[in-house]
Copies of this chain bind each other. A is one copy, B any other.
Amino acid sequence: MAKKKQVTMSDVAQRAGVSRTTASFVLNDVTTANIPEETRQRVLQAAQELNYMRNVAALTLATGKTMLIALIVRQTSEATSVNIFTGEFIRGVLGVIEPEDYHLVIHAAGPNQLESTYGKLARIRRVDGLLITLPLLDDPEMIELYEEHIPVVLHGTLTGGIIPSVDIDNEQAAYQAVRHLVELGHRRIGHISNAPFSYASSSHRFKGYRRALDEAGIPYQNQLVLEGDFISASGYLPMQKLLDLPQPPTAVFVSSDIIALGAIAAIRERGYRIPEDISMIGFNDYFFSQHLNPPLTTIRVPAFELGRHAAQLILDLIAGKEQENTQILLPTELIVRGSAVKRQ
């Protein structure tokens, strides 16, 4: 394990013929030090010649900054569905933090709170900031960190809205989807949610569904609305129930492509066809959605962009910049494909 001896700042200073202080100033771009250009260049060149790389641990010890941002992923049972989104989100995050010399550490917090404590990660590893996806409705650990003034940004929307967050505009997205169905002539429109309605995303999407109905003057019917629960299987029974109604819906808005898979299976089993008998709109636009038969009309979620915004926000928070808006809501896009057509 004989690693090469490390090049330190002293080496650079020595080679440039200046003190460590001066070297530190130029390497850190401390403008108040007013280093003359000539000296600056000398140091920079020495650093380059020596292939100097700053020792982050020393920096951390001296300043308290770790240049680390943690991403806490709350895994749900159907981890895979989360992964597609999270992968894109991470790419977005890395794109903005790495150029600033930050790195990302990942931690998977189990779905039940008892288990893992990311607070420990925050405190032992002393990360500069935390990104939390899929926050629980009521997460004491998160509040605690927030109150300790550790920068936190979450992906999702929490009622109360004190903690900075990025999310899509769930209500508007659902509204778009259902209005599309209305425009296609549908009046009996079912809804299967992405998650229990206790989740913010589900309840917001439900609101959008209602708003579209209201706007079209379509009376709301409770029996047309059913709860999904993350995994594909959870779309199966609700869809059956919808089909069992004396007057089944002619269209259904399933607010998760994953759950749509289960709903599609139920429809197929009963011998109904999509879209001839029933139109369907999903949510997320996962990559497989366009390859279904028929290709699924759905709502595109800008996972990559969400990651970018979350990262930028946390960086600003760490830098102590004043924030005008710490509740970022990104727009979504309706992707029209073959699964929703004019009411026949």
A residues lining the B interface (CB < 8 Å): 1-4, 53-58, 60-61, 64, 66, 68, 71, 75, 78-84, 86-88, 90-91, 94, 98, 101, 103-108, 120-121, 123-126, 148-150, 232, 258, 261-262, 264-265, 268, 286-288, 291, 293, 320
Given A91-B75, A108-B91: A265 in contact with B287 (beta carbons within 8 A): no
| Contact between B107 and A57, CB atoms less than 8 A apart | no
Q: Chain B nearest CB: distance from A48 CB in Å?
A: 14
Q: Across the interface, name the chain B residue whose C-beta is closest to A291.
A: B261
| Contact between B88 and A79, CB atoms less than 8 A apart | yes
| Contact between B87 and A103, CB atoms less than 8 A apart | no
A-B contact pairs, 15 of them (CB 8 A): A1-B149, A1-B320, A3-B64, A3-B150, A54-B124, A56-B124, A71-B106, A79-B87, A90-B108, A91-B108, A101-B124, A103-B107, A104-B105, A104-B106, A286-B288
Q: Across the interface, name the chain B residue whose C-beta is closest to A304.
A: B79
Known contacts A57-B60, A103-B107; 10 additional CB pairs below 8 A are A3-B64, A3-B149, A57-B66, A60-B60, A78-B287, A103-B125, A232-B291, A261-B288, A265-B293, A268-B293
CA distance A148 to B126 in the complex (A): 29
Q: Chain B nearest CB: distance from A313 CB in Å?
A: 16
CA distance A81 to B288 in the complex (A): 9
Given A148-B3, A320-B1: A79 in contact with B106 (beta carbons within 8 A): no
| Contact between B105 and A56, CB atoms less than 8 A apart | no
Other-chain contact of A286, B80, B88, B125, B262 (Cβ < 8 Å): B80
CA distance A125 to B125 in the complex (A): 13
CA distance A64 to B3 in the complex (A): 10
| Contact between B87 and A2, CB atoms less than 8 A apart | no
Other-chain contact of A288, B2, B90, B288 (Cβ < 8 Å): B288
